[in-house]
Amino acid sequence: MKFRFMKMQGCGNDFLVIDGINGDAPEFKRGEVAFLCDRNFGLGADGVVILKKSEHADVAWEFYNSDGSVAEMCGNAARCVVRYVSEKYLPGETVSLETAAGVMKGRIVSKDEIEVSLQPQKDYEFKYTEHVLELGSEVFQVYVTNTGVPHAVIEVKTLAGFPITRIGSLVQAHPMFQPAGTNVTFFERTAGKKILATTFERGVCAETMACGTGAAAAALVFCELYMETPAITVAVPGGELQVDLSPISRVLLLRGPAEYVYDIEIDYLNSDFERKLPYEQRKPPTR
């Protein structure tokens, strides 16, 4: 069987997208998704999106992280889907997308900007809890919230050179976030209504070039701590995103680019694939 993928990316957060809207949506095993997303042995991506028919929206999706786990929502992938569906099926219209977190809406704002809501159409009320986590000899103030998926947000003085992977791994492994885990988002305050932010993503187990829900979580925590109001510009490793609240409906919005990378057709899947790790990242054998 052959599978045709579109590779799309938003600020470097990249996805393999399959159009199964006409009823031929495939079902993938977890190992097959991990194989497809592996950057050494497969095609390489941060996630896989399967588009399907929906009874409640213009389109529905199944979204998989690169390790094959399912995620409720992904802001950058949603912008990619909105662009594709709008251009192919609904030119000039708002697109509704059924996700595990509810029905989201999005639209093409301009050639370089796609806007999508990060939660169903209702007034957004920012809720978070504040915690102090002891991670070995280090102590961090952590703000826990959900912008479609869970995030633990940490403010740091300087992001450049900060041990994102080490601290992100420790936070993800903390008992507070088990068994589902969490994304870990770090942000740095700059000047005015702009911050730097990056996310150590659950299901990817690495820092990604961009995380839309993470950018939103960081922007909202920043607004709470420093008494700012949206819109906030968030500089992520792969570009810039804007986090805002719509002036009328008060829906949480994410704006930024969504671009095509390539189309590809393959006829092979490795269902038994297991992610290979460099020796430094492997746990020593028990004796």
Return the SS3 of 279. Answer: helix
Q: What pLDDT was estimated at residue 107? A: 96
Average pLDDT over residues 133-158: 93
Q: What pLDDT was estimated at residue 199? A: 97
Contact between 28 and 225 under an 8 Å Cβ cutoff? The reply is no
Q: What pLDDT was estimated at residue 7? A: 98
- Residue at token pair 């159409």: 121
Lowest-pLDDT range, 26-35, 130-139, 246-255?
246-255
Catalytic-labelled residue, pool 11, 37, 74, 80: 74
pLDDT in tens, 202-234: 988 889 999 999 999 999 999 999 999 999 999
- Check if 74 is active-site: yes
Q: What pLDDT was estimated at residue 56? A: 92
| 120: confidence class by pLDDT, cuts 50, 70, 90 | confident
Average pLDDT over residues 253-279: 92
Domains annotated for the chain, with CATH where assigned, are: 3-108+258-275 (3.10.310.10), 128-250 (3.10.310.10)
Q: For 182, list phi and psi in degrees, rounded to 5.
A: -150, 160
Which residues, 6+ apart, have CB-to-CB distance to 259 below 8 Å? 8, 9, 10
Q: How many Cβ atoms from other residues are within 10 Å of residue 122's Cβ? A: 12
Q: What pLDDT was estimated at residue 12? A: 96
Average pLDDT over residues 148-163: 94
Query: CA 208, 212, 214, 215: dihedral to nearest 10 degrees?
Result: 110
Lowest-pLDDT range, 9-13, 90-94, 136-140, 218-222?
136-140
Omega of the bond prior to 120 within 30 degrees of 0, cis?
no
Token pair for residue 236? Answer: 């992520």
- Check if 80 is active-site: no
Token pair for residue 222? Answer: 């920043």
Average pLDDT over residues 160-185: 93
| 276: confidence class by pLDDT, cuts 50, 70, 90 | confident
pLDDT in tens, 47-97: 999 999 999 999 999 999 999 999 889 999 999 999 999 999 999 999 999
Q: What pLDDT was estimated at residue 121? A: 63
Contact between 100 and 62 under an 8 Å Cβ cutoff? The reply is no
Contact between 105 and 78 under an 8 Å Cβ cutoff? The reply is no
Contact between 185 and 222 under an 8 Å Cβ cutoff? The reply is no
User: Residues of the chain with pLDDT > 90: what percent?
Assistant: 76
What is this structure's pTM? 0.91
Q: What pLDDT was estimated at residue 156? A: 96
Does the pLDDT of residue 10 top 80, yes or no?
yes
| 4: confidence class by pLDDT, cuts 50, 70, 90 | very high
Long-range contacts of 157-161, Cβ-Cβ distance < 8 Å, separation of 24 or more: 157/188, 158/188, 159/186, 159/187, 159/188, 159/196, 159/197, 159/198
| 256: confidence class by pLDDT, cuts 50, 70, 90 | very high
Give, in order, the Cα–Cα distances in Å from 109 to each of 51, 67, 91, 121. Answer: 22, 32, 12, 18
Return the SS3 of 162. Answer: coil
| 266: confidence class by pLDDT, cuts 50, 70, 90 | very high
Does the pLDDT of residue 124 top 80, yes or no?
no
Catalytic-labelled residue, pool 11, 80, 205, 211: 211
